[in-house]
Amino acid sequence: MSRLRPVPLLLGALTLALATLAGCNSVSHEPQPVAVNIVAINDLHGNLQANPFSFKDPTAPGGVRKLQAGGIATLGGMLGQLRQEDPQLLFIGAGDLVGGSPPLSAMWADEPTLDALRQMGLKLSAIGNHELDQGKAEFLRQVNGGCQSPRPDKACQFRPDYAGSGFPYLAANLMDSDTGKPLLPAYRIEEVRGVKVAFVGAVLRDVAAMVSAKGMRGLQVADEADSINKLIPELKAQGANAIIAVVHQGGATPEPFDKPDCSQLGGDIIDVAKRLDPAVDVLVSAHSHQGYLCKVGSLLVTQGNSYGHLLTHLTLQVTPGQHRVTDIKAVNLLADPARYPQDPALARLQRDVEARSNEVLLSPVAAIGAPSITRRADGAGEMPLGDLIADAQLAAGQANGAKIAFMNTGGIRSDLALEPGQAKLNYGQLATLQPFNNALVAFDLTGRQLQQVLNQQWKGTDDANILQVSRGFSYRWDAKRPVGDRVVPGSLRLDGQPLRADARYRVVMNAFLGEGGDRFSLFKDGTQRSDLGISDLDAMLQYLKDMEHQGKPAGSATSAGRIQRSN
């Protein structure tokens, strides 16, 4: 009996050998990667028209190329060309598509911009901080449609039957504190040629520092990377073959916007990128208005500048049936109107908006003191345009006892320049400069508190956020002093006199800054608060008119030297 036992083993071995030989001649059925094309836009900010863009170009005169880039008709034409090559292309957004917009869009509650993006076939977008400028209810109205709005003078005025954005916003880390539930879907899965691509959205975790307290009412924010990472098992269980994180946070690099695999990226996005689960294949970023195609470790991190200047084109090679991306190519495409055909439907929409808006936007307001007043900062961080805005706000607050005005640079959205033959600035130019229509507030701070809040201008060694100040107020800062103590003690002066530490001084600023926005948390400690009943834009309009009437048109081409720097 024992001699018979090897026979089945021998037969089994022979069968296995024959099967192996047969396999040598068979054709492999391994799934082959398929191409998935994704185009991303970020920080459009309601720019329906082409607008100035400049960047380093060694072939251009002076090494800098300047052009009018973007515009919805050009962006639509670019997408049309790309869809001729791949009809299944996915068009996505990374937030701040609206908000902080030029008046051409803002005067209609940004509904024309959302309509344009719908016509372009936008599939989804992460939410940005500026989508929340008008608060939760107004944002949801913009997404879902309807006319019940806190700004009835703008909502549904372009079209009375506004039906919503036509695409979803995503946020894995934004909670509705009234319900305890997510405000928005965390992710969306799109299927292309048999592969599933998951897009997970997130807003920057310190969004509350970028949005007014009114805008953040009823909302809570969690960490970006943690919120995305928690979803990875769920996405894999749903068969996602590729995962794209779309995060409204950014960084900056000195490298060109079209340099592949740039390596000098810095900023807040680095921390997010380093903590993301390795299952994330690409991080599409935003917020910092920079163009880059960088690597953080092995993770590709992209951004397409702002205002429609660039579109980021990603091509992923994805293997069906597996979470396997074998190759990723990325390019930032310049939205040059001279290079692309104009989309006819979007060109018609733009002309319609312009025709209905220009009667208001082109109305003259006042002359100014220089043909051009810019945001270009001097070595101390002072801007000619910052001086002008602070002076206008001081004038608006003087009846309430204000002695000093402060202005955050993030609220200065454009330069002021007279066109050839233009005698006066028009309403559109001024509304573009200050599009948020923030209320002005006044309150008291001691001299000691003013010194402390000015020291909040530096978050890191080379990361300064210099407040612009009004006439009569001055101070000095020293770059060699430590962060948190850079303002030279005793240098704060009002009308030439040193500020006293315990004396109270009434200050005026926009409500966003006064609520601690842009990380100036100490402004929240002000006492005897008053709402001045006037917006920042209206204060500027009135100031320019008053100064012209006095025969002293306001503004200068150079900064006034109110802020001094040592070292």
Residue corresponding to tokens 């992710």: 187
pLDDT tens across 269-308, in order? 999 999 999 999 999 999 999 999 999 999 999 999 999 9
Over residues 198-226, mean pLDDT: 95
Bridge pairing between strands 282-284 and 299-304: parallel
Q: What is the 8-class DSSP label of residue 298?
A: T
pLDDT tens across 473-517, in order? 999 999 999 999 999 999 999 999 999 999 999 999 999 999 999
Q: Does 382 score more than 60 pLDDT? A: yes
Over residues 106-127, mean pLDDT: 98
Q: Does 557 score more than 50 pLDDT? A: yes
Query: If pLDDT is split at 50, 70 and 90, which confidence band does 4 have?
Result: very low
Q: Does 24 score more than 70 pLDDT? A: no
pLDDT score for 28 = 56
Q: What does the chain come to in residues?
A: 567
Dist. CA 148–CA 447, nearest whole Å: 45
Parts of the chain belonging to CATH 3.90.780.10: 365-566
385 contacts 464 by C-beta, under 8 angstroms: no
pLDDT tens across 152-182, in order? 999 999 999 999 999 999 999 999 999 989 9
Cα 286 to the center of its chain, rounded Å: 6
pLDDT score for 12 = 41
Q: Does 227 score more than 90 pLDDT? A: yes
Selection from 355, 348, 440 nearest residue 400 by Cα: 440
Query: Which of the following CATH numbers is that of domain 36-353: 3.30.460.10, 1.20.1420.20, 2.40.50.100, 3.60.21.10?
Result: 3.60.21.10
pLDDT score for 432 = 95
CATH 3.90.780.10 assigned to domain 365-566? The reply is: yes
365 contacts 426 by C-beta, under 8 angstroms: yes
Dist. CA 503–CA 497, nearest whole Å: 13
pLDDT tens across 232-275, in order? 999 999 999 999 999 999 999 999 999 999 999 999 999 999 99
pLDDT score for 322 = 79
pLDDT score for 437 = 86
Bridge pairing between strands 473-478 and 563-566: parallel
Amino acid, res. 294: C
Parts of the chain belonging to CATH 3.60.21.10: 36-353
Amino acid, res. 104: L
Over residues 99-105, mean pLDDT: 94
Selection from 187, 197, 165 nearest residue 88 by Cα: 197
Cα 344 to the center of its chain, rounded Å: 28
User: What is the pTM (predicted TM-score) of this model?
Assistant: 0.85
Average pLDDT, the chain: 94
Bridge pairing between strands 458-460 and 463-464: antiparallel
pLDDT tens across 410-458, in order? 999 999 999 999 999 999 999 999 999 899 999 999 999 999 999 999 9
Q: Residue 225, Cβ neighbours under 10 Å: how many?
A: 24
Selection from 320, 317, 285 nearest residue 300 by Cα: 285
Dist. CA 387–CA 514, nearest whole Å: 18
